[in-house]
Amino acid sequence: MTEVEQYIYGFLLFLISDPLTWIIFGLVVAIILPIWTAMIILPRAGFSPWWGLLNALPIVSLVAVWVFAFVDWPNIPNRAGNENPNGTET
């Protein structure tokens, strides 16, 4: 094994065994994953994907989920049977 390979192996072993690395990795996953999934789901409902950035703020994300649960979604017809999602008659 060359010196470079030993250095890389030692560095990777340090990263795996260091608890701070796992904490940082967990925080990154906990922040990035909800934002990424929201940025995929929101355009399907007719909203801007940038609303997904609200998931980075803990309390604001709960309020955003509550609001999106009860607001009329532009791409989905309402439950009253009206095909026009804006609620205006044609």
pLDDT tens profile 18-50: 788 888 888 888 889 989 999 998 898 888 999
DSSP state of 21: H
Note whether 43 and 70 are within 8 A (CB).
no
Predicted pLDDT at 9 = 85
Phi and psi at 24, nearest 5°, equal -65, -45
50-68 confidence digits (pLDDT tens): 988 988 888 988 898 898 8
Predicted pLDDT at 37 = 92
Predicted pLDDT at 40 = 93
Note whether 64 and 47 are within 8 A (CB).
no
What is the pTM assigned to this prediction? 0.59
Note whether 56 and 30 are within 8 A (CB).
no
CA 17 to chain centre: 28
Predicted pLDDT at 26 = 87
Residue 66 structure tokens = 């509550």
